[in-house]
Chain A
Amino acid sequence: MDRRTFVKKLGLGTVASAAVAGTLAKADSGSAAATAPEPFEIVVVGGGFGGASVAKYIALWGGAAVKVTLVDSNAAHVSCILSNLVLNNQKTLANLTFPLVKAAEKYQFAFKQGAVAGMGAELNGSRFIALADGSKIYFDKLVLSPGIDFDFPRGMVQNGWTDTNTPFPHAWKAGLQTNNLRDQLKMLPGGGKARVVMTIPPKPYRCPPGPYERACLIADYLKNKKGGGKLFVLDANPAIQAEPVNFGKAFSGLYKGIIEYQPNAAVNAVSAAAAFNPRLALPQDKTINVSYTGALPANPIGSGQKFHLINVIPKQKAADLLFGTDFRHLLGGKAWAGVHIDTYQSLYDNDVYVIGDAHDSVQPKAGHIANSEAKVCADALLRHLQLRPARVMPDEAPVTNSACFSPITASTASFLTAGYRYNPALDTMEKIAAASGEAEQINSDNYKMMLAWANNLFAEVF
């Protein structure tokens, strides 16, 4: 934004610049130019946990001084949170689908459906994002919360395979692939004959406990619905990445004989003889090529072994949007967008902010904390526009928090929580050890709390 527009938007043309921040955007009745200043135009891309939350709080705290537009390629966001419960039929996608028009009405911002394809500037300096249909939306400040995309192993994606018929649904973005994976699970053979593989990507990836939670739910399903079976959990990491005590207990206790956990296992390739066809029996036709980078496990998987179901959760990176020509500079050569971690302002572009899974930090890539980051970002962005007073340290050191509830069976759960605080000396968000930990027990109270938490979080965001 050039300085002239900035001054115009603040209504400062003839007003002394010493006007108190916070009242700036209101018309100054004492000045000659008593017309209300134009509101700042804020565009948010991505209506998931980060984006819908930041749109809400910029609109709420910015009031009449801002005009907020949320853009998402889809009319509704499907929550990944609780989506593993679709696999064992405790939830449906419909329960987890949130129309963004409704969120926009409720929290007073505008919603525009469209896939963002580019970003540019007019000769006068006005900046815009471009949608796939060629239309432009102008912004003074842009917040991106586009989530993740994947680096697929060889053979996982093929022409003609769709979300509904791919034999390899990752289901790591909730949607049709989640139903596909549910249906494949349902069609596994009974009598303890099912042979299943799940793979966990190298960190960082979306939802650190998520893959272990999924392993538990698949094992629970095998145990109770399929007379047992075998689930190989291949982890690219050297050890369980979250809630190691509770997941460790579940793997070696509750699911002993079903789950075989193999760390240091990287997937190179997968293959299937055909697309998934829900009208035919689930064939035992899938193979996987694995490299073990540590000690060989007791039963290493060779390329000759065949499985009914292979659920690869692929390696992750910031959403494809950020790898596009107009946005790539925000990555600074990395797989995630670099930001000033106390504000989420891009390291490479002062008018752009990146929150949620797509940004680079020690905070987990998770929905609850994406909402937490959104509040810190909304506050900082409004300060940058001089709509709120400048931040004073340590009074306003950003604090964020995370909570993930993990179902372990169809009626019990564990949890993981963490707190992070900005350390100005190190310019980083630091994990607060005293505020972080996993549940002391796996129990049904946690399961109930999980549903209560998710309902409040969903209503807070959407």
Chain B
Amino acid sequence: MNKSVLLLLLAIAATEVAAALPADCSVTDANGVRRVMQPNGELLAAQCYQCHGDQGRSLGEIDSIGGKSAGDLYGDLREFKSNGKADIMSLQARAYRDCELYAIAQYLSTLPNQGD
């Protein structure tokens, strides 16, 4: 593969990541300007640790979530949010905008992996 094809592929991959940003990340500010919101993933993710353990490192039966892939985490969170169930995780997922779930998944993926 020559270098320009590689760059092109990288560029496509990059736009795909950008395109994967949840639609509700787009907000209109007080001046009527559209912009992409940037939730604080570190703070939001910390709200998972009461149940999932410090830094997403669980001691017992509840899943560890630190260091998992952002894509998997975001997929799981979206699934919890939309599954219509009333367990704690499904209820909690409904507290957040998709954009926030995305930021949570991104942040958690940067933490050390704990295995399962």
Contact = CB atoms under 8 A, between A and B. Distances in A.
Contact of B60 (A392, A396, A419, A455): A455
B16 to A, nearest CB: 23
B58 interface: yes
Interface in A375-418: 375-376, 379, 392, 394-396, 399-401, 403, 415, 417
B43 A376 contact: yes
A432 B94 CA distance: 8
Interface in A298-357: none
A459 B43 contact: no
Interface of B: 27, 37-40, 42-44, 46-47, 49-54, 58-62, 86, 88, 91-96, 100
A419 B40 contact: no
Given A372-B50, A399-B100, A452 B62 contact: yes
A433 to B, nearest CB: 9
A440 B49 CA distance: 24
Given A392-B37, A421-B95, A449-B62, 16 more contacts: A395-B38, A396-B39, A396-B43, A399-B95, A400-B47, A403-B50, A403-B51, A432-B95, A436-B91, A453-B51, A453-B62, A456-B51, A456-B62, A459-B53, A459-B59, A460-B49
A437 B86 contact: yes
A57 interface: yes
Interface of A: 57, 61, 368, 371-372, 375-376, 379, 392, 394-396, 399-401, 403, 415, 417, 419-421, 432, 434-437, 439-440, 448-449, 451-453, 455-457, 459-460
Contacts of B42: 61
A419 B88 CA distance: 10
A449 B61 contact: yes
A432 B93 CA distance: 11
15 contacts: A372-B47, A375-B43, A375-B47, A392-B38, A395-B27, A399-B47, A400-B47, A415-B88, A417-B88, A435-B95, A437-B86, A452-B59, A452-B61, A456-B54, A459-B53
B60 A452 contact: yes
Contacts of B47: 372, 375, 399-401
Contacts of A453: 50-51, 62
Contacts of B37: 392, 394-395
